[in-house]
Structure 1
Amino acid sequence: MHEPRLTDRQQKALAHGKQVEWVADAFKVPRPELVAAIAAQGWVIDPATDRAGPLTRPHTPTPGDLVATTNDAAVLPGGKTASAESSLPAAAEELPASRTADGAAESGDIEQLLNAAHDSGNKRIVRAAGKVTATLEALRALYVPWKAEQEAEKRRLAQLAEAEAQVAALKERLAEAEAAMSDLRPRAARKTAAPRSTGRTRAADIRAWAADRGVACPERGRIPGHLERQYDAAHPDGARDAAT
């Protein structure tokens, strides 16, 4: 697998202050791949501005840099001198940085550890830090949208639960209102249907009716039709029941 490298145009765009996201969009390069190329170039990305550039560090005098000494001063390359007393603050200034790196490694602060690794000047450490930065960028590109989806799903479920609770409350109120309406409605009186007479009961009624009026009617057998018609005319309700 080849190590990612910045093209000349990408390097120029970044050197002119273009943001990493802008360069990734302009050159159709995935951001994690571009970040890895930036790290391989030995450059660092400023999280505050999303701009990349070469790693710059102030020169710190070392014993090998001292080419000549006097009682009060040390002569540095280029003819510059630094007194022993003036060199102490520079050494003191380096102590917080080392302590910060050690503290970052011990405390697990990834940002501080990566910054310290980029500032180390060791090619292997800088390269490893670049790979970790690229991995973190890829992880961030996956995690941030996923986290947003999770938050949106939580909000959706909360809204759904609230809507279901409102529907349940409305159904309960509707049931109570329907029960109240049922109690308030006037109840219609039930009609008592007249008992229907059977064939034998009807024949007995006709014979009794005919006997009361002195009309001849056979005691047994079929009742003549004219007697049934006369009886029905005198009892219209009974005639309707018999018809049904």
Structure 2
Amino acid sequence: MAQPIPQLSSVPEPPIKPAAVEPQPLPVGQLLKWGDDHADPDVRDQASRARIALTGLRRRHAADQELAALTEEREQLEQRLAELRAREAELAPAKAKRKRSAPTRDYDTRTVRAWAAENGIDCPRVGQLPKRVLDAWRATTKQQAEQR
């Protein structure tokens, strides 16, 4: 069977307690002075540690404020620099881009290196061919062309 639902009139009202009066918090300076002047050494110790912690917090707060100001100033300077560079690019005459043309050679480096190796002439395997090797190769190929 279903239980009867209690009516509001049958539920007893809780006794009314007087409102607890909460003390107003003291400003930090007054609280620290109270702690410093207290007879209990534990309270004095707590006040001393609180003073040290507050000093650390103040220093960190000041450093964070300075860092924020520096960051904001840096961002403003970077923006101004970008504006100046853009304006400079507008005003500067366009520079003609020159392509480097490959040097005109009357020889194939692989052919000259192979010739030098066959003839026992010291020649590096990579890089620019020495002038003495090129001069010797040209002299030899010129003689061979004249003999034909």
TM-score scaled by structure 1?
A: 0.26
Larger Rg belongs to = 1
More strand by share: 1
TM-score (norm 2): 0.39
